[in-house]
Amino acid sequence: MIDETTNKHHSKRISTEMRPEYHFSGGLRGKYADRYHQSVNMVLLEPELAEAFPDSKSVSDALRGLLAIATRANQGKRA
C-alpha cells in the first residue's frame, strides 16, 4: 500500500504576498532592540579556548584579570 501523505502533489503556488491576518500596521519597529543589545553580547571562541573557558563566568573572570594587568601596565608608563 502506498502512503498517500508522501505522494501528495501540492497544486497550490507559494505566494509571496502576506496573508491578511498577518498585518503589522500597529507594530513598532525595533521596540525591543535596545533591550536586546544590552543583554546579549555573543562571542564565538576557538575550540581550544572553549575547552579552557567552558562558561561565561570563566571568560569574564579571565578578561577582568587581563584588563587589570593592562590597566596597571598603562599606569606605569604614564608616570
For 33-77, the pLDDT digits (tens) are: 888 878 777 889 999 999 999 998 999 999 999 999 999 999 877
- Dihedral of alpha carbons 17, 20, 26, 32, sign: negative
Residue 77 grid cell: 608608563
Neighbouring CB atoms inside 10 A of 28's CB total 7
Tell how far CA 61 is from the center of its chain.
21
Closest-CA residue to 49 (of 39, 40, 38, 62): 62
Instruction: Say whether pLDDT at 20 is over 70.
Output: yes
Looking at residue 8, its pLDDT comes to 56
